[in-house]
Amino acid sequence: MIAPSEHPDFDAHAAVCFLHDAKTGARAIVALHRFDPTGTYPSVGGCRMRDYATTEEALGDALRLSRGMSSKCAVTGLPFGGAKAVVLGVPEPSARRAVLDSLAGFVNGFGGRFRTGVDVGLSACDVETMRTATPWMVGTGPIRPDALTADGVFATLKRAVRHRLGRDGLTGTSVGVQGLGKVGLRLAQRLLQDGARVLGGDVDRAANEEAAGMGVEIVDPATLIGLDVDVLAPCALGGVIRSDTVGAIRARVIAGSANNQLATADMGNALHERGIFYVPDYLANAGGLIAVAMQIEGHDEAWAHSQAAGLADRLDEIVATADSLGVSIATAAEQLAADRRAP
């Protein structure tokens, strides 16, 4: 096992904690990319539960995702630090409650400096269960993070279509949605309501059936990356834009909710060189963070909806910077995030 500081995804993280509960066998990694040393603002990020092949793989996920959360906070102007928790392994149903209690204990150990909630493998019900043992769970307020995430993706996607395709509406625009979970399904619904033709696919048969009932044309999710559509919306796991897939993309716009869509940073320039308009994922999917900020800071629902819609204006700012500097949108977004991130 390599030291966190020697991992290729380490980015001067403030802290990386390896946690283990001897009683349940629960193991987790919490990565704090940036945090406020005064304690005024917490570091925030979801808790992901997966069967990782190796500890190094889990560590890489925690490091990348926590850095992405810092970027998300920076580009949205929210005053939090970026963080992430990853749980190594999905417990058996009979052991799940005990593991969740262990995780709550881990969260309590940070004394409110770290707030976490729903992510891959951890449901809203799980978060409510953990809340009985720790007050530092977030994302279960009056607006669910997945709903606001989808709304933010929709707003930035629509603005990207205006930039790249010169259309103010989505009527006649074809969109391929890769992943039809809570976010992907809500996004598909909004796209259909706005007149788009939506093709989508998920590995979950039930999700496909629900989407089909809404009017989504179901396709194999593995083929979506190269589908002949106007817009590609990655809404499943990250890393789909790689050196071996970027050349197959036929969409002219990419805007989705998946974290870390670019497997490597140079993929942003590769998309730019091919004339593909890429909405940085940490901007497109920032609606979930806005829902968390609403809960932590006590804002109302009108504020949250306004902030999610305003992500499109943030995109305009990034595009203007990219144009003025003659760089890709991904590069301009990274520069903006780096300038605004807390040291």
What confidence tier does 237 reach under pLDDT thresholds 50, 70, 90? Answer: confident
If asked whether residues 150 and 17 sit together in one domain, one would say no
Ordered alpha helix ranges (H), 81-198: 96-108, 124-131, 145-165, 182-193
- DSSP character for 286? T
As beta bridge partners, residue 20 has: 27
16-64 pLDDT per residue, tens: 999 999 999 999 999 999 988 888 899 999 999 999 999 999 999 999 9
If asked whether residues 32 and 154 sit together in one domain, one would say no
If asked whether residues 279 and 167 sit together in one domain, one would say yes
Residue 15's domain comprises 4-70+79-131
Q: How many domains does the chain have?
A: 2
The reply to whether 161 falls in a domain is yes
If asked whether residues 223 and 329 sit together in one domain, one would say yes
Chain centroid, CA 232 distance in Å? 16
Active site residue 84: yes
Whether the full predicted model's pTM is greater than 0.75, yes or no, is: yes
Lowest mean pLDDT among 97-101, 141-145, 297-301: 141-145
Cα(166)–Cα(253) distance, integer angstroms:
12
What would the DSSP string read from start to end of 26-63? -EEEEEESS--TTSSS-EE--EEEE--SSHHHHHHHHH
The reply to whether 93 falls in a domain is yes
The reply to whether 138 falls in a domain is no
Query: Which one of 72, 84, 158, 182 is the catalytic residue?
Result: 84
Cα(203)–Cα(221) distance, integer angstroms:
7
If asked whether residues 190 and 323 sit together in one domain, one would say yes
More confident residue, 217 or 35: 217
As beta bridge partners, residue 85 has: 30, 47
Helices then strands, each counted (H, E), the chain: 12, 12
If asked whether residues 113 and 12 sit together in one domain, one would say yes
Q: Taking 80 as the threshold, does the pLDDT of residue 343 lie above it? A: no
Pick the closest to residue 67 from 306, 280, 270, 272 (CA basis). 280
Which pLDDT score, from 0 to 100, does residue 197 have?
Answer: 98
Cα(230)–Cα(158) distance, integer angstroms:
12
Could you give the percent of the chain with pLDDT greater than 70? Answer: 99
Number of other residues whose CB lies within 10 A of the CB of residue 323: 11
The reply to whether 107 falls in a domain is yes
Task: Say which CATH number the domain at 61 has.
Answer: 3.40.50.10860
If asked whether residues 153 and 119 sit together in one domain, one would say no
Question: First CA to last CA across the chain, in angstroms?
Answer: 28
If asked whether residues 102 and 38 sit together in one domain, one would say yes
If asked whether residues 155 and 214 sit together in one domain, one would say yes
If asked whether residues 181 and 321 sit together in one domain, one would say yes
As beta bridge partners, residue 83 has: 32
Task: Say which CATH number the domain at 270 has.
Answer: 3.40.50.720
If asked whether residues 215 and 237 sit together in one domain, one would say yes
Residue with tokens 């349940």: 24
What confidence tier does 14 reach under pLDDT thresholds 50, 70, 90? Answer: very high
Mean of all residue pLDDT scores within the chain: 94
The reply to whether 126 falls in a domain is yes
The reply to whether 139 falls in a domain is no
Counted residue by residue, the chain has a size of 343
If asked whether residues 216 and 304 sit together in one domain, one would say yes
Which pLDDT score, from 0 to 100, does residue 144 have?
Answer: 83
Mapping DSSP to helix (H, G, I), strand (E, B) and coil, where does residue 280 land? coil
- Could you say which of 87, 106, 131 is where a domain stops? 131
- Could you say which of 131, 153, 168 is where a domain stops? 131
The reply to whether 16 falls in a domain is yes
Residue 17 CB-density burial (10 A; 0-12 exposed, 13-18 middle, 19+ buried): middle
Cα(121)–Cα(61) distance, integer angstroms:
14
The reply to whether 137 falls in a domain is no
182-216 pLDDT per residue, tens: 999 999 999 999 999 999 999 999 999 999 999 99
